[in-house]
Chain A
């Protein structure tokens, strides 16, 4: 390889390395600032102010869903800890007991007052007949 091309190759590698390093630091900085995501077991370990909107994710505990008119309450669990959630609104079709959920809302008296309830879909795709066989 000619000397001039070698030099250009070094420049290309330098550009790649610098931008990778730069974005690494940006992501690190974002992680410590924007991480409002808690699991049910983490939530009581930290002091969370009532006016801070948080996101929690986990499984909807079996037999925990109570519906009353438009209100719905359920327990989100990560198998180590769990927390009550109250929500007034429409939950997505995929919301059901035993499946993943992400809740956005405020913590109040050890209960999450949810503003939004989103169903998490996992990476598994299969026809219903196979599900029954399993």
Chain B
């Protein structure tokens, strides 16, 4: 915990600067898109939020497996502290996608595989939070939470592959590991910056949230009483 506290301000300020600079770059210094005009600029919010919402779930799934196998209490605290942050980022992804959908597709909502699987992710985050909070017995709550996180993790590859498996209104990925990006470099650099910056900021949020969770769960321990 001491180590994290030391690294925290560096992570926070570096990512804040990276994020703000990239957003400024993306919004004001890049050219318009050849078909979408200015409305494409929402990717500097939408893509980082979508990326984070899925990555956080993956982190939760790994932490749940660690908890179930090795019974590391800290990892289930992490699961519980990530869940609300994941819910918020998924919500941002859904809303920003809707706002972009109106001028681009002509509708704010379609029952499209990518959108529905993301909506399921959002509902799952909410469900996991309320499931964990509905138990009186913490140990039971932790166990059910981590099992359910694992069950839900099948949704992540479904979200990822939805644009390939079904013919969706949502476009396929512009940035892939195997191919040259389908997005021009002048637009891509600030996008990478915004993803890195947003990831850093969310990491800070996870650190704060997990600290809170640890203190909440260990509130009867003497070190917590000394710390607070």
B118, chain A: closest CB distance, angstroms = 15
| Secondary structure call for the A interface | mixed
B106, chain A: closest CB distance, angstroms = 3
Q: How long is the Cα–Cα vector from A124 to B183 in the complex, in angstroms?
A: 5
Flag if A8 contacts B68 (CB, 8 Å): yes
- Partner of A9 from B30, B69, B104 at Cβ < 8 Å: B69
Interface string of A101-134 (1 = CB under 8 A from B): 0100000000000001111111111111111000
Q: How long is the Cα–Cα vector from A116 to B186 in the complex, in angstroms?
A: 35
Q: How long is the Cα–Cα vector from A93 to B37 in the complex, in angstroms?
A: 10
Flag if A92 contacts B65 (CB, 8 Å): no
Interface residues on A, range: 35 or more
A127, chain B: closest CB distance, angstroms = 4
Interface string of B80-106 (1 = CB under 8 A from A): 000000000000000000000001111
Flag if A125 contacts B182 (CB, 8 Å): yes
Nearest A residue to B165 via CB reads: A27
A-B contact list, 28 entries, CB within 8 Å: A5-B70, A16-B150, A16-B153, A16-B154, A19-B153, A19-B154, A23-B154, A23-B158, A27-B158, A37-B167, A57-B167, A92-B107, A93-B104, A94-B103, A94-B106, A121-B105, A122-B171, A122-B182, A123-B171, A123-B182, A124-B174, A125-B33, A125-B183, A126-B34, A126-B183, A127-B30, A128-B33, A128-B34
